A and B are shown apart, each in its own frame.
Chain A
Amino acid sequence: MPQKSMRDAINDALHIEMARDPRVIVLGEDVSGGAGGTSGEREASGGIFGITKGLLPKFGAERVIDTPISESAIMGAAAGAALAGLRPVAELMFADFVGVSLDQIFNQMAKFRYMFGGKTTCPVVVRLAMGAGMNMGAQHSQTIYPMLAAVPGLKVVVPSNAYDAKGLMLTALRDDDPVMFFEHKALYPRKCEVPDGDYTIRFGEASLVREGEHVTVVALARMVTFAEKAIDALAADGITCDLIDPRTVSPLDIDTILESVENTGRLVIADESPPRCSIASDIAAMVAQRGFRSLKAPIQMVTAPHTPVPFARELERAYVPSPQRIEQAIRLVMKESA
């Protein structure tokens, strides 16, 4: 099976679906780039991260639409095009730019199906590049998926690897609800085995990345790899863990997490977002409500601090939860239940 980066895997999914379904369009800033440029090169960019490369030459400017820097209009136009029968993929570039366009996402597209009594759907996929680790500063590094997962009507996808990203993107493109598709920038170049063909991964179905008996570790996006490192480091001490990657945070596969906690009695959640009102705190609350009697130790959350993302290398390194911090949390729940 071919090895592909997450960048190429998402690009694959877009190619497959645009070829299959003529209703799919892509719009956003520099999704092709080069419009109005002086070189005459019409695909000068292919997306700032290269995710939409090759779409313009193949599908043309009516379906691959470069926009001005107008995030509200991009999101709103995607919502309107969806009401009128298209299936837009709206690129927001950096997830932080949700701030500019939030009304069109959470008051408009999120509400249409319910508010209009189920008489319409709003099949939009919003692509958002997120995450710290590249020193891009406070306004280009946030992991704001919990904010959108809190909004009824939106589905929220947070893939951790190339294989999942492709299958989840194909599911997103065929879903009739607005899907917020968060892509961690640090994962774009990371490769794994990805089939060339068409396959989908259901929303709300977690992936069991590792199996073990002592601790349940839930991790999202980049934290999955970090959790794997932590778990590997603990093997020498005879500590084994279930590692669960929910893959989508809305819907969330809480059942898989609860079943695992029933076996292990211990829970560590690793999440790059700040701790309050986060996916980590949400999962902790659900397990406390529904799995309280299984717990042998307090739940541990390994998160970023409640601060904006700092710029300096040393500070950003301290901001992002590390494999070492996850390892310490696992040791702590073991100790507290000894």
Chain B
Amino acid sequence: MTTRPTPITGPLTRERLLDAYRRMKTIREFEERLHVEIQTGSIPGFTHLYSGQEAVAVGVCESLATNDYIVSTHRGHGHCIAKGCDIGGMMKEIYGRADGLCKGKGGSMHIADFSKGMLGANAIVGGGPPIAVGAAIACRNRGDGSVSIAFGGDGSANQGTVFEAMNLAVVLKVPAIFVYENNGYAEHTGASYAVGSNNITTRSAAFGMPAERCDGADFFAVHATMERALAHCRAGHGPYTIEAMTTRFYGHFEGDPQLYRAKDEVRAQRESMDCLKRFAADAGQHGISPADLESIDSEVLLAIDAAVSEAREAAPPAEADLLTDVYVSY
């Protein structure tokens, strides 16, 4: 799984769909495995899982090229995998190992891979969108048709930085795509309470850009919406907004007792809003058999196993690394 050297257009071929499925399945299994590993105490810190939202990351990133940028959030593992980050390097970063993608200095909330156009996850809600707009200025000035994606949750839509970023993108007419993953909750508070208008697209539209809502559990719906956004941005018409309606299958962070959620909510959503099940149900129409998916499933599980064992065995950073990568003279 790598990023594409050039953007891809045209119909979703069987090969592209199999790759998209592989990415979604990889995200799911990566997160499900982390959920188990975290309980063993072997993973330091604070982890926010992306399970349930896979179709958004992959639907958005499927046709992007390496020179397209994404800026991610605290719930960023899915974005990284969708943009082609190496899962071995990610897993080592999450374990805090010396050869993790950020040398163990970043951790789960701060994975970045600039060689893949992944400009970094972010532990500040609303911290990313202004950065994505800056990258979009670079895209515009390069004139190569590249775009910059700002991922954010429903919670981020209530931050002033995000409003400023949207307005700046419109003013500068830069190719920025604001992707709001509305998973229903900002930490422990419902979006129906905290997003006053209960609609993020109307906010974006008020800033002067096209904005669409889509079903975030449906890869095909996210992908089609993204194709319209990309056509708009790559043609130089300025920014675009996508609000993908989705859910998370786990809490805000691992260990969150989720008292704010109805008891059976996640179980029901794992039935009705599972993007992998939805994809599998539609796959036959695209010449993909259950056996095709099963063989991907087993390959993915092996790859995750390998990533976990390598991360477990990998060396921690040396103490001297504490003082590298920063200006220190005191």
Residues of A within 8 A of B (CB): 29-30, 33-41, 44-45, 48, 66-73, 96-97, 99-100, 134-140, 275-276, 305-308, 310-316, 318-319
Chain B residues touching A, majority SS: loop
Chain B residues whose C-beta falls within 8 Å of the C-beta of A44 in the assembled complex:
188, 258-260
A-B contact pairs, 12 of them (CB 8 A): A29-B189, A37-B185, A37-B259, A68-B189, A69-B187, A69-B194, A70-B160, A100-B127, A137-B123, A310-B321, A311-B102, A313-B44
Please measure, in the bound complex, the distance between the C-alpha atom of A136 and the C-alpha atom of B322, giving whole angstroms: 16
Total chain B interface residues with beta-carbon distance under 8 A: 56
B-chain residues with CB within 8 Å of residue A100 when the two chains form the complex: 124, 126-127, 159, 161
Given contacts A44-B188, A72-B160, A311-B44, contact A38 B261 (CB under 8 A): yes
Cα–Cα, bound, A337→B180 (Å): 62
B286 to chain A, nearest CB (A): 34
B228, chain A: closest CB distance, angstroms: 29
Cβ–Cβ < 8 Å partners of B106 in chain A:
137-138, 311
Main secondary structure of the interface of A (DSSP, over half): loop
B261 close to A37 (CB less than 8 A): yes
B158 on interface, CB distance cutoff 8 Å:
yes
Besides A37-B189, A38-B265, A136-B45, 8 new A-B residue pairs in contact (Cβ under 8 A), listed by A number: A39-B261, A45-B260, A68-B186, A135-B46, A308-B105, A311-B105, A311-B107, A312-B97
Pairwise interchain contact A307-B109, C-beta atoms closer than 8 A? no
Known: A30-B188, A312-B317, A313-B96. A139 touches B110 (CB 8 A): yes
- Indicate if the CB atoms of B326 and A35 lie closer than 8 Å: no
The 0/1 profile, CB within 8 Å of A marked 1, for residues 119-147 of chain B is: 00011111100000000000000000000
Q: Sorted from nearest, which 10 A-B pairs have the closest CB atoms?
A: A36-B190, A36-B193, A37-B260, A311-B107, A312-B96, A135-B44, A33-B188, A135-B45, A312-B104, A68-B158
Please tell me if the beta carbons of B262 and A307 are within 8 angstroms of each other in the complex. no
8 Å CB interface, B75-108 against A: 96-98, 102, 104-108
In whole Å, how far is A74's beta carbon from the nearest beta carbon of chain B? 11
Contact B96 A34 (CB under 8 A): no
